[in-house]
Structure 1
Amino acid sequence: MATISQKPKLITIFGGTGFIGRHLVQALTKRGYRVRVACRNPNLAIHLLPLGNVGQVYAVQANLRNRASIDRAVAGSDHVINLVGILHESGRQSFNVLQNFGARAVAEAARAAGARLTHGSAIGADPNSPSDYARTKALGEQAVLETIKDAVIVRPSIVFGPEDKFFNRFANMARFSPFIPLIGGGETKFQPVYVGDVAEVFARSVDGDLEGGKIYELGGPEVLTFRQCMEQMLDVTCRKRWLVSVPWAIARLQGRILGLLPNPLLTLDQVKLLEKDNVVSEEAAREKRTLQGLGIAGHSLAAILPMYLWRFRPAGQFTRKQVQ
């Protein structure tokens, strides 16, 4: 009969039902860890259960607005990962509550449980940013490191993969719209990073391969402008659309209006985010706090986009791509 010391480590993930979370759960179960997914509605985690052996993955109810539920979810954990983040506010789900106070609550619960902590943030996190998203991400990082000095912070650039909300959204728009809007002329730079590579970094943090108290910035092998990202998306989906530049002033107005919708295509806060490049810093690259610094080559857009954007082609998988 196994003793407690012989049991695989227990990893609790907040935000595990999300885009990055699903790939991270798979990476952790392959390593043999037990995974506890803490989410507001455990029924939403059913799709994660088959990613491990029977009983290896299970869900518990937790809400970052309820400290008692956080403590219960963290109890007995060896490592805690916080992936919670939102792109726009809705009701009581605000940037400040989830990405600032929620981050501190998870860190305090992890410290009380004696667990290690890896916190998911984003490139562009800045306490002085005009964007509430970026500002609260930075405040959350500060709260985490104040609470657990050897916590690991992971900042990815824009993440792409089968369920992403960037390329899928614009590819779907291209099915119906004759043009694709380029906010600010489409000159904002991104360093798209594959979700599988991001999950691998989080998993290595659990393995103990990442130095604590550091902020790791994750970007893929290519730095592309917004326009170049859209051109690649259109090439993969075999569609020709006009790329129309939208001046910043008009984009801000659109963001204010569209932001009033329940599930907005664009918000003013997102426009503010787009005013700043989203790439790995020179300091992080120099100190090897990047994918390449960790020995991960990273997947390119050209290698991954065709694997899931084919469904947006005019005839789906049967579309014959013309050779230039």
Structure 2
Amino acid sequence: MTQSAPLVTIFGGSGFVGRYVAQRMARRGWRVRAAVRRPNEAMFLRPYGDVGQVEPVQANIRDDASVAKACMGATAVVNCVGILAEAGKQSFQSVQAQGAARVAKAAAEAGVTRFVQISAIGADPKGPSDYARTKAAGEKAVQEAFPGAVILRPSVIFGMEDGFFNRFAAMARISPVLPITGGETKFQPVYVGDVAEAAAKAAAGEVPGGIYELGGPEVATLRALIERMLKITRRRRLIVDLPAGVAGIPASLLGLAQSLTGGLYVNNTLTADQIAQLGVDNVVGEQAKGLKDLGIAPTAMEAVLESYLYAYRPQGQYSRLTESAKNMRGA
């Protein structure tokens, strides 16, 4: 890999989405700088490319100096950093609003020519949750620094390391009851590989700037998605859809536990902010530009889910052999 190859800096390059973006940019022949808080934990990225092609570097989007250093020499910057729940200094405001603004400002000052922001469907300055409002604030800051930026708004993202299907499948492994809230809220799950391909195309300058909402080929309610997970994992569980007011009680208790432990316990299970956001459908808008406009055919859930959810079956990878043996005995 020569030093003349273009360089992309990916903030959050070792995260769920970021690692897929890094892999695709490396395949395109780019040098990849993965800007992460703990680079020693991101060394798994190096084999994504040739020797020296993919390098983790230290950067914290709450720190001006490290962000500026990570942007130096880059042709493109992709910001994949986002959180679903607050913990300590990692607040929605500091990460998704101020953090995005800091990265965009530093990138502009460093002479970066292309900027890609991973946002979320539902980003709205008047949204019901801090999550939605800070996502919108981050978008606004990016557009002010880079009028031609590409902003990607995915629905819930699925893939091998996802925090959605894996989370509920892990719960189903140990609990006979799956409590949820917002069971009738609609989602349009999108494959992480499709999101990464969209980001890679944008970083490479292959698509025009603007906002793109990314969703897969299927819209389903939260309850239906969990039912699909249970079918794949061969689990029979009772799904209990709690009203928002009732769900707020355990959310408050979990939030209190986080406060009382000084952050030693982090409430990633259920928060009041998540409950508020679950009251709004998470699907691609009728007039929004999407994967089709980016030249990407959306990947269906059925093509991917079983490839990693099989691990949650009672017999794991041996489930099919066990089922075949039962069928033979019953023949």
TM-score (norm 1): 0.94
* 2:270 match: 266
Contact in 1 for aligned 2:76/2:204 (Cα 8 Å): no
**Structure 2: which 5+ runs fail to align?**
259-264
Please give the alpha-carbon distance, in whole angstroms, between the structure 1 residues aligned to 2:56 and 2:293.
34
Please give the alpha-carbon distance, in whole angstroms, between the structure 2 residues aligned to 1:152 and 1:291.
13
- Matches for 1:1-324 after TM superposition, within 5 Å: 7-115=4-112, 116-184=114-182, 186-212=183-209, 214-260=210-256, 261=258, 262-264=265-267, 265-284=269-288, 289-320=289-320
Residue 14 (structure 1) shift? 0.5
Please give the alpha-carbon distance, in whole angstroms, between the structure 2 residues aligned to 1:279 and 1:26.
27
Residue 208 (structure 1) shift? 1.1
Q: Which amino acid aligns with 2:185?
A: T
Residue 283 (structure 1) shift? 1.4
Please give the alpha-carbon distance, in whole angstroms, between the structure 2 residues aligned to 1:128 and 1:87.
18
Residue 303 (structure 1) shift? 1.1
Residue 113 (structure 1) shift? 1.3
Contact in 2 for aligned 1:255/1:269 (Cα 8 Å): no
SS in structure 2 at match of 1:283: coil
Please give the alpha-carbon distance, in whole angstroms, between the structure 2 residues aligned to 1:85 and 1:170.
21
Please give the alpha-carbon distance, in whole angstroms, between the structure 1 residues aligned to 2:76 and 2:248.
41
Of residues 254-263 and 132-141 in structure 1, the stretch that sits farther from structure 2 once superposed is 254-263
Backbone CA RMSD of aligned residues: 1.4
SS in structure 1 at match of 2:26: helix
Could you list the per-position Cα deviations for residues 237-290 of structure 1 after superposition, in whole angstroms to 9, with x for gaps in the alignment? 011111112111111222222234323211111111101000001110xxxx21
Please give the alpha-carbon distance, in whole angstroms, between the structure 1 residues aligned to 2:164 and 2:266.
14
Contact in 1 for aligned 2:254/2:271 (Cα 8 Å): yes
Q: Which amino acid aligns with 2:247?
A: A
Q: Which amino acid aligns with 2:275?
A: V
Residue 59 (structure 1) shift? 1.4
Residue 126 (structure 1) shift? 0.6
Contact in 1 for aligned 2:184/2:223 (Cα 8 Å): yes
Could you list the per-position Cα deviations for residues 92-137 of structure 1 after superposition, in whole angstroms to 9, with x for gaps in the alignment? 1111011111111111111111112111100010111121111000
Q: Which amino acid aligns with 1:316?
A: G
TM-score (norm 2): 0.92
Contact in 2 for aligned 1:191/1:220 (Cα 8 Å): yes
* 2:261 match: none
**Structure 1: which 5+ runs fail to align?**
none
Q: Which amino acid aligns with 2:232?
A: V
Contact in 2 for aligned 1:182/1:246 (Cα 8 Å): yes
* 2:262 match: none
Q: Which amino acid aligns with 1:234?
A: L
SS in structure 2 at match of 1:259: helix
